[in-house]
Structure 1
């Protein structure tokens, strides 16, 4: 691994960072700012028919500035507004990513020179949202691949684990909760850390919500509006007033990370009186949002429990899954007691109230705010890590599952799709991802095969751990009553047209990169299917061929 060069790009809602690591050397943050600072402002603007980005955009009048362009992907929006001008969101994002690449190259770091380039994204993003980012990155000459797109809280956890394992003393072992609150999203991950010389990292859950810095800015701006009352009635351009209130709200929020009060001056809004804004007022504005954040922490902990196998009750032997019904009844120490470490990442984690509320949930956990770099740099440091992703296992598939037949195919599962919706965990007795009956578009007779395909389009080999055999596909008899199901604990079941069900288990979903990493290990939990027709469609057949005509 010596000499291997990895570059990480953290395209943030508010600011963006680039870092590199060569071999086992320390991570180096590349200066992207105009004054040699690490940060590139993820800000765009529109003036005189031209699109501006970075510091130049920040100097524009508030109404001409576009902030949080990344949220267009989170919200599946196609347009962004700069005052009265509506712009194509993709064009804005490409301009931002392109400027990041150009500044990195100017600083001596060409993104195309890495052995691997990784790009972060929110944990809540779907496969389609990830694909959109990859498409825009390619247009911006940021040469990242689908296999190198990493959930941001997972990257922060990797950075923490690598930092801790590089130090002398006892190695951390157990569960780590990552609380990553940035400008656009709150992302939470639960990781299991093990290993001797190097960390072995298993992702137990990763989820997110569109609830972070921008949300707090809006709450503070509403406080300003209430305090100013009728003094704002004389302004006809309400959009410009709101933009200026949000700008001042951001200043107050950042200042109160280290101070108890902040003098708010509305310079661009005429003769409005100044306001002394107190930290207590910030906490009041922040409390509803943090209440939701606590609920999402508990949801992440419950989701992590769904990956476990537990002994069956009644002495019947075997294992089963945690029931969502049982998990819903758990709270407080029932969920938090197993967490040994908590890592705060993202700029919003600097607000003292964040540490107070979340830290109080884990009174016995070790709390960390840095990973050798500050919390705002934790994600990019993890993205640039040269080794730990080889020992990283995910909580859901990073590959597509395809049903193929003679003359066609159907995508049954797109990589990174959540295996269930959040509301299901709060209301159903069991949760899983399923395609059944009419969901299938294939012919209703004949034989097909299930193939696992990387986001590069290559077939991922399937290794059957009970026999050691490696196959390219699994046989599947086509018909009316077929079912494909995946559970959060890695259980996969295939029910064919005759009602025969095959069950397999993936202990953890590996990162699928291609080459040596393109192997999926399945453990069979049922007997092999009987041969079908005159062809041996039984277990162990390596290559599929269409039925004889």
Structure 2
């Protein structure tokens, strides 16, 4: 169960909107009413005079003075964001804007009767494509905003959506789904795809095989619709180059594009009326669902390629999966057989075209857009889950591997692998690049060039963790430093370590466990036996809560 009292709270800090949800025990999830008239809070900001304002107050500012999609500053590793104001264009700190948004989320949750404090386990969502530095940046911003990030778990958004679906199938229908689940999570800023092996029930077992992400999401569609609207304005004789307020025109067209995207999810056509007081005589436009789908088609083509990349990457975790070149040769007909269930999540899943395109890829799978809440609430519902994280196994380590040695009476450490660093990019899977994994060797291997040291494991909170290797409990694995050293992590859980003496260790972990501190799971490793005809029993199968064998 999550938290000391079986209570959990989740915060989905989204590109377009943000949500807070709570759950106590196995009761239904509760989404807190954050907005003035909605359950969601607009993730927008702006300046009213010298004051930074957020949410609905910012959304009411002139369109060209609103800061939107600020979360993308983390995705793009940007420190500054431009905002247009009465005095012209200003560049301000992106972190300052995000701290203000996160602080307001916390304040509104408190006013809604759901304070974000240490009494409940606290989780934040993040895109699957984020690396360790990007994740740490969000955690640091949340801490500065007064959110209880100590010991919190930062969870990939599509994984949270999958957990919400598994729990909902059991609680609502007493189902215990077992098989492979593909989560297609398209939000405002990113498209995230996760492939999970699930065994449902009151104590679900979830193993993440892969999670990939790309910027094929709502913001990109907004720009595609805006291009159509500009073309329609030109076709109707409006002189774009003669506008006296180009920034205002751009902002109003983008707002119209967002409105068209939302309304065409339920209507066949949308009437576009731009204010003409400052822009002159602007013609009225009609934008249709057919136009939206044509504008959306190239983006969905790219999304489809990411789906196939994710399914190929998922096979990298399997024994005898074949080389990357062999996986790249697998066609859709072979890959779709891996999938038993598909879950559509994120606000963009409300667009009918998304469901039609994704559903057509998996004619034999069960396709869901319901995790007990609306599609754009699935992530926050999963973040508030109280059972799905007890036995969550990841596809890459959520902790650091560090090199440690003693020097002049002091203990020195350097990071060999930073938590959550991706082993590969989507394009590498698509290109058939060999040896997909993480590698540090020779000059890139940290530490001194002589002497003795240790390979250790460290939580993202900085706490050293224990490990067990071939049933021997230890704090670290001894190594001899030298000029020829290497460390490799592979998607199937293999770990190769060669130290400066030439000693080589081939190790294996069945799944990367969630390790939040020494009181949680140890990292359990075993010697890797090449070409072993019978793989050892995964560690979690020996527990009293082990899932049934398939």
User: Common fold, TM-score beyond 0.5?
Assistant: yes
- Are the aligned partners of 2:34 and 2:108 in contact in 1 as well (CA < 8 Å)? yes
- Could you tell me which residue of structure 2 aligns to residue 415 of structure 1? 419
- Could you tell me which residue of structure 2 aligns to residue 360 of structure 1? 360
Change (3 A) 1:146 1:348: farther
User: What's the CA shift for 1:175?
Assistant: 0.3
Which of 186, 210, 213 pairs up with 2:215? Answer: 210
Alignment length, in residue pairs?
Answer: 514
- Are the aligned partners of 1:147 and 1:512 in contact in 2 as well (CA < 8 Å)? no
Deviations 1:39-72 (A, max 9, x none): 1111101121111100001111001111111111
- Could you tell me which residue of structure 2 aligns to residue 128 of structure 1? 133
Q: Superposed, which structure 2 residues align to 1:183-222 within 5 Å?
A: 183-222=188-227
- Could you tell me which residue of structure 2 aligns to residue 545 of structure 1? none
User: What's the CA shift for 1:393?
Assistant: 0.4
- Could you tell me which residue of structure 1 aligns to residue 400 of structure 2? 400
Deviations 1:264-317 (A, max 9, x none): 11125332111111111001110110010001111111110101112xxxxxxx
- Are the aligned partners of 2:310 and 2:426 in contact in 1 as well (CA < 8 Å)? no
Tell whether 2:382 aligns with 1:378. Answer: no
Q: Superposed, which structure 2 residues align to 1:247-286 within 5 Å?
A: 247-268=255-276, 269-286=279-296
Which of 443, 457, 470 pairs up with 2:473? Answer: 470
Deviations 1:377-412 (A, max 9, x none): 000000000111011100000000001111222211
User: What's the CA shift for 1:195?
Assistant: 4.8
- Are the aligned partners of 1:231 and 1:272 in contact in 2 as well (CA < 8 Å)? no
Other structure's SS at 1:160 match: helix
Change (3 A) 1:326 1:89: same
- Could you tell me which residue of structure 2 aligns to residue 537 of structure 1? none
CA RMSD of aligned residues (A): 1.5
- Are the aligned partners of 1:63 and 1:239 in contact in 2 as well (CA < 8 Å)? yes
- Are the aligned partners of 1:146 and 1:456 in contact in 2 as well (CA < 8 Å)? yes
Q: Which moved more, 1:450-459 or 1:111-120?
A: 111-120
- Could you tell me which residue of structure 1 aligns to residue 73 of structure 2? 72
Which runs of no fewer than 5 residues in structure 1 stay unpaired? 311-320, 528-549
1:234, 1:196 → 2: CA distance? 63
User: What's the CA shift for 1:126?
Assistant: 0.9
Other structure's SS at 2:281 match: coil
Other structure's SS at 1:111 match: coil
1:431, 1:256 → 2: CA distance? 41
Q: Superposed, which structure 2 residues align to 1:99-498 within 5 Å?
A: 99-145=104-150, 147-229=152-234, 230-268=238-276, 269-310=279-320, 321-407=321-407, 408-425=412-429, 426-464=431-469, 466=470, 468-498=471-501
Q: Which moved more, 1:155-164 or 1:77-86?
A: 77-86
2:318, 2:274 → 1: CA distance? 54
1:256, 1:195 → 2: CA distance? 36
1:203, 1:98 → 2: CA distance? 31
- Could you tell me which residue of structure 1 aligns to residue 83 of structure 2? 82
- Could you tell me which residue of structure 2 aligns to residue 534 of structure 1? none
- Are the aligned partners of 1:124 and 1:209 in contact in 2 as well (CA < 8 Å)? yes
- Could you tell me which residue of structure 1 aligns to residue 10 of structure 2? 8
- Could you tell me which residue of structure 1 aligns to residue 539 of structure 2? none
Deviations 1:84-111 (A, max 9, x none): 1222100000000000000000111110
- Could you tell me which residue of structure 2 aligns to residue 543 of structure 1? none
User: What's the CA shift for 1:358?
Assistant: 1.0
2:295, 2:342 → 1: CA distance? 25
1:276, 1:363 → 2: CA distance? 34
TM-score normalized by the length of structure 2 = 0.91
- Could you tell me which residue of structure 1 aligns to residue 39 of structure 2? 38
User: What's the CA shift for 1:525?
Assistant: 2.1
2:288, 2:427 → 1: CA distance? 37
User: What's the CA shift for 1:34?
Assistant: 1.2
Deviations 1:403-452 (A, max 9, x none): 11112222110000001233433142221111000102422222111001
Q: Which moved more, 1:184-193 or 1:517-526?
A: 517-526
- Are the aligned partners of 1:7 and 1:114 in contact in 2 as well (CA < 8 Å)? no
Other structure's SS at 1:406 match: strand
1:501, 1:514 → 2: CA distance? 29
Change (3 A) 1:402 1:277: same
- Are the aligned partners of 2:403 and 2:413 in contact in 1 as well (CA < 8 Å)? yes
Change (3 A) 1:284 1:128: same
Tell whether 2:59 aligns with 1:49. Answer: no
User: What's the CA shift for 1:453?
Assistant: 0.4
- Are the aligned partners of 1:178 and 1:344 in contact in 2 as well (CA < 8 Å)? yes
2:201, 2:222 → 1: CA distance? 44
